[in-house]
Amino acid sequence: MSDQIPAIELRGISKSFGPVQANKDISIRVMPGTIHGIIGENGAGKSTLMSILYGFYKADAGEIYINGQKTNIPDSQAAIAAGIGMVFQHFKLVENFTVLENIILGAEDGPLLRPSLNKARSALKSLAEEYELNVDPNAAIEEIGVGMQQRVEILKALYRQANILILDEPTGVLTPAEADHLFRILENLRREGKTIILITHKLREIMEITDTVSVMRRGQMTATVKTAETSPTELAELMVGRKVLLKVEKTPAKPGKNILEVRNLAVTDEKGIKRLKGIDLDIRAGEILGIAGVAGNGQSELLEVLGGYRRATGSVKLNDQPLELNFGPSGGQKRRAMGIAHVPEDRQREGLIMDYAAWENIAFGYHNDPRFQKNAVLMDHDAMKADTAAKMAAYDVRPPDPYLAAKSFSGGNQQKIVVAREIEQNPDLLLIGQPTRGVDIGAIEFIHKEIIALRDKGKAILLVSVELDEIMSLSDRIAVMFDGRIMGERLASETNAQELGLLMAGMNGEAA
């Protein structure tokens, strides 16, 4: 095995962005026909390294070898020509194009599209059968779920004859069932001799699917080990540089008075589809109510109603005060004024304005705070920047630069910015959706501790997550949603994944 030529070899790769050194003298060998994991904290340089391999960035120093041949990769076309495909964390698909049109985009055989489409349709059928990548070629991207969209990205790479496939945080937007299906696809690809590089922060995935794992920390490669010869605890310590608690430590809840009361809450969307069908729930001070369920069963709509930007019928009370359910554009602002903070599920679409600086994003929604006012007309930008610097230090946001645009931070550091903004308001009720989506193990530990600390201050927390482990370890009570309804409610200490899984599949409480 040691004499085998690596499918990929990077030697001495370095890359800086201004004063920030993203990659420092990195060398790595990836053997053919294997799944090679790369893990590290957010901002460790994983995505930068893979973007160099795919031709998105040019390294300041170092060499790339593909199948033993030194290869120059100045752009993604050169990477594709070298047999490399990449599936990005945020998909690169044209939403109003069909699956088939997206597959051939950039790989057309000539000015006439029909021959290219016919060729792609035939190739797509073969690839779908071979790798369990079934997807409707005529469906528009905007009409299919994220799991299917990811399959389209993989099919795009395979259609271009990729033998090396890079996947960047591929399960960040998938349900557990979709993630399991993805793993079966990757197993099929490996069996056919494809080489796969898997960038992830999820240790369970690394242990389950990879043959070898490389660990990055602060731009450097700290270790490469056989997966079978390591453990989640060892990998976590290599990633973070210290021992990490992989389980949430918390004392039993001490619930107080009722903070949130929801009765007969119903939502019908613009297409006339009922998304919420008579939701009843209560959350008391000093407890976390977790909402479990497969994505798309009404959890998002519940958060949007309570957050003030989706209309509904029924009644909602916060501290015995009714919340308006048919509001204008100021719904979210009114919620904040009443003591509700909201970490939305999609940080990039709902939590941040990506082109704005970190200090502007941390002030958004709370810019009327007296601390940020110079007078009746002007806001105190210096106070906002100082507040941002303090929050960045407290939440270990990297780099700790208030002037940097939100889009320039890694996904996990973007999440820390949103979490810091909302939790530091000391709300009576925190709405938090997918709190650790795309976040590394060290940051997960930190965010979980902050949520527990808020609970222990006597605050009420509504937690929505597709990560069942996260729901079970953080929640005091768990309500399961299916098809817009609450299927059942359990104490976290008295249930298990199997029982919750039955409820998530729509089995009623008695059957479960």
Cα–Cα distance, 493 to 417 (Å, whole number): 31
- Tens of pLDDT, residue by residue over 99-158, are 888 887 866 655 555 666 777 788 888 887 887 788 888 888 888 877 788 888 888 888
pLDDT value at position 115? 66
Torsion of CA 107, 110, 113, 114, to 10 degrees: -110
Which is more confidently placed, 416 or 147?
A: 416
Q: Please report the domains of the chain, with CATH numbers, ordered by start residue.
A: 8-240 (3.40.50.300), 245-339+427-512 (3.40.50.300), 354-426 (no CATH)
Higher pLDDT, 237 or 28: 28
Mean pLDDT of 452-474: 93
What is the pLDDT of the chain when averaged over all its residues? 89
164, pLDDT greater than 80: yes
The span from the CA of 137 to the CA of 126, in Å, is 12
The pLDDT assigned to 316 comes to: 97
- The amino acid that residue 500 corresponds to is L
Residues in the chain: 512
| N- to C-terminal Cα separation, the chain | 49
pLDDT band at 477 (very low <50, low <70, confident <90, very high): very high
Contact 263, 280 (CB under 8 A): yes
- Amino acid of residue 467: E
CA 241/CA 360 separation, integer angstroms: 32
Please tell me the least confidently modeled range out of 155-164, 174-183, 398-407, 498-507. 174-183
* R_g of the chain computed on alpha carbons: 24
Here the tokens at position 131 are 């790798």
Cβ–Cβ < 8 Å for 214, 37 = yes
Q: Which residues pair with 379 in a beta bridge?
A: 373
Helix axes 411-423, 381-394, angle to 10 degrees: 110
Residue 399 preceded by cis peptide, ω within 30: yes
Who's near 115: CB < 8 A, 6+ residues apart? Answer: 109
Rounding to the nearest 10 degrees, give the CA dihedral for residues 491, 496, 502, 505.
80
**CA 323, CA 19: separation in Å to the nearest integer?**
48
Q: Each residue of 372-403: pLDDT tens digit?
A: 988 877 899 999 999 999 999 999 898 999 99
Name the DSSP class of 143. Answer: G
- CA angle (210 as vertex; 243, 409 as ends), nearest 5: 60
pLDDT digits (tens, 9 = 90+) for 42-83: 778 898 999 999 999 999 999 999 999 999 999 988 999 999
